[in-house]
Amino acid sequence: MRVRHLAMSLSKLLPHPCEDVDLEQYSTDGNVASNFISSIISFGDLSSDSVVGDLGAGNGILGIGALKVGAERCIFLEIDKKACEILKQNLVLNNLSESGSIINEYLDSNTNFPKVDLIVCNPPWGRQKEKADRPFLDLIIENGTISHLMHSAHATHIRPFFESRNWSVEKYGEFDFDLPARYSHHLKEKDTTKVGFWRLSPN
């Protein structure tokens, strides 16, 4: 599937409800998500027999994108019950229910997440709560598999965090990321920030 067609398809997904500011919930744009998935394919990290883990899945846009380009299965981890309901509907509407499973659970050191072939993740960036992304980064380390991370392009902690644990880190892209005024602390009707893409691999 071409990037443009994937972007159009992902843009039609039911949106993330984005109701909890503490979880830093924002909808990922279909164009950003499609470029992210396309890049993963270019690295050779996604194939027809891949089992993918989508951490902090929201409405499922990244994991569903992986399924649409041929991944065998995706396991979605999401804390927000309402987001999980939207995610489930998106799987049904795209005839992907058989290929996806949802874990509605708070992510911490006790989370029992299965071993997968590839992790995709757009965690909270830590703007509302410092180190909010840490459980996601820790789970990537624990799973020990190639991962692609979507995070603030201005983040400076990702490379040292993984390299200090003997992982290879490659930042390979930046895109504009729209931030509509969803919460009371937003002063503008619409703002834009930069999102960065990272490939993380254990040595």
| Confidence tier at 178 by pLDDT (50, 70, 90) | confident
Instruction: Show the tokens assigned to 74.
Output: 């995706």
What domains are there in the chain, each with its CATH number?
Answer: 3-8+27-202 (3.40.50.150)
Per DSSP, 63 falls in state: H
pLDDT at 87: 98
CB of 121 closer than 8 Å to CB of 150 = yes
Instruction: Show the tokens assigned to 163.
Output: 């390299």
- pTM of the model as a whole: 0.91
Continuous segment of H or E residues that includes residue 83: helix 81-93
Lowest mean pLDDT among 43-52, 65-74, 106-115, 125-134: 125-134
Q: What is the mean pLDDT of the chain?
A: 91
Please state the length of the chain: 203
pLDDT tens-digit map of 127-144 = 667 889 999 999 999 999
Closest of 99, 112, 77, 83 to residue 13, by C-alpha: 83
86 or 28: which leads in pLDDT: 86
CB of 108 closer than 8 Å to CB of 139 = no
Continuous segment of H or E residues that includes residue 104: strand 100-104
pLDDT tens-digit map of 186-198 = 445 567 889 999 9
Distances (CA, A) of 76 to 16, 55, 62, 63, 83: 14, 6, 10, 7, 11
